[in-house]
Amino acid sequence: MVWQVTREAPGGAGECGVSGSSPRLMGILNVTPDSFSDGGEFFSVESALEHALALLDEGAEILDVGGESTRPGAEPVPQEEEQRRVLPAIRAVLDARPGAKISVDTYHAQTAEAALEEGASIVNDVTALRGDERMASVVAGAGCEVVLMHMLGEPRTMQRDPRYEDVVREVRDFLRERVDYAVGCGIDPGRIILDPGIGFGKTVEHNLELLRRLDEICELGFPVLVGTSRKRFIGTITGVQTPKERLFGTVATTVLAYERGASIFRVHDVRANREALDVARMLLIGERGG
């Protein structure tokens, strides 16, 4: 089954997932000791809050709070430890900014449930509801938004010689199947966001092909989230090995993904990506006659 969903973008600017609509920036808040780019920097509640407020002030509409690294080779974290990391951060942000929109980056139903009780309103599940059999019912019961992401394998193994016959077709078919599963579990299709999983079980060429043909993913009719920020494939192309120095390559992928229909962008560097998207949006609006 193909589900077609139309949503108004923030401010009523148009349909999400269509070039020219208002993009949504999701700022990354990793409260982990081992994330690939900023592990350990925001591990304390105080540093996490300071960074969260900076991301919001720079224009992030959503904060994605994660307590387990999903970098290639990362080991899983017990749910209790994940909750010990993310829940105080969520609580602190919402105490400081009650209107902030929080996403919890987890595939554990218990963590999602606790985060939603604290005030989170999006579950960002890198397993697309496969990692915990209770997750779909938690999301359906809460009526929250959910991000369904494609990942080949799991973080520990996903970059060990990933292969596809046609990466775009296979990712698209997977996402369509997960949408059908989610809706069958009672999740409102109007609350579903899709993520092709750039860098999750993909080679450099797989990532580039997904970005080139991103419109084929957007044709499924759901808002599409793209997360390329500071990723290794950008460093492979540019020769920049330090993740924090991959900003310029990240901005290029953000703008191109927006032109191809993506509407949500998960980034570390909010201001640079926001300004690039502001310019791109005005150009696309003019190109399409307002």
Q: What is the pLDDT of residues 228-277, one digit of tens each?
A: 999 999 999 999 999 999 999 999 999 999 999 999 999 999 999 999 99
Rounded mean pLDDT, 146-150 = 98
Using a 10 angstrom Cβ sphere, with 0-12 exposed, 13-18 middle and 19 or more buried, the burial of residue 2 is exposed
Has 231 been annotated as catalytic? yes
Of 24, 178, 246, 266, the catalytic one is: 266
Residue 15 has pLDDT above 80, yes or no: no
pLDDT surpassing 80 at residue 169: yes
pLDDT number for residue 112: 98
Distance CA 38, CA 145 (A): 26
Question: Tokens 């915990």 identify what position?
Answer: 132
C-alpha of 29 from chain center: 12
**Residue 101 is a catalytic residue:** no
CA distances from 149 to 118, 125, 130, 170 (A): 24, 7, 10, 13
Q: 2 pLDDT exceeds 90?
A: no
Q: Which two tokens stand for residue 105?
A: 């980056």
CA distance 159 to 174: 18
Mean pLDDT of 155-168: 80
Model pTM? 0.88
Determine the average pLDDT of the residues in 159-165: 82
Q: Find the DSSP H helices in the chain.
A: 45-58, 79-96, 109-118, 135-142, 167-184, 204-212, 214-218, 232-238, 247-259, 270-287
Q: Give yes or no for residue 48 having a pLDDT over 50.
A: yes
Q: Are the CB atoms for 258 and 19 separated by under 8 Å?
A: yes
Calculate helix-pair angle for 45-58, 79-96, nearest 10 degrees.
50
Mean pLDDT of the chain: 89
Instruction: End-to-end CA distance of the chain: give it in Å, rounded.
Output: 33
Six token digits for residue 37: 């780019």
Phi-psi region of 102 (alpha: psi -120 to 50; beta: other; left: phi over 0): beta
- pLDDT for 189 beyond 60: yes
Whether pLDDT at 153 is above 90: no
Q: Given 24, 202, 231, 246, which residue is catalytic? A: 231
Confidence of residue 11 (pLDDT cuts 50, 70, 90): very low
Give the lowest-confidence range in 6-15, 61-70, 185-194, 246-255: 6-15
Instruction: Identify the residue whose tokens are 């999400």.
Output: 16
**Residue 1's pLDDT is what?**
54
Average pLDDT of 154-181? 88
User: For residue 179, is pLDDT > 50?
Assistant: yes
Work out the average pLDDT over 4-19. Answer: 38
pLDDT of amino acid 242: 94
Taking alpha carbons only, the member of 28, 19, 91 closest to residue 243 is: 28
Q: CB neighbours of 57 closer than 8 A, spacing ≥ 6? A: none
Query: pLDDT tens digits for 80-121?
Result: 999 999 999 999 999 999 999 999 999 999 999 999 999 999
Q: Is residue 199 predicted with pLDDT exceeding 80?
A: yes
> What is the three-class DSSP state of 195?
strand
Q: What is the DSSP letter of 1?
A: -
Is the predicted pLDDT of residue 131 greater than 50, yes or no? yes
Q: Indicate if the pLDDT at residue 158 is higher than 80.
A: no
What is the mean predicted confidence (pLDDT) over 16-35?
73
DSSP code at position 76: P
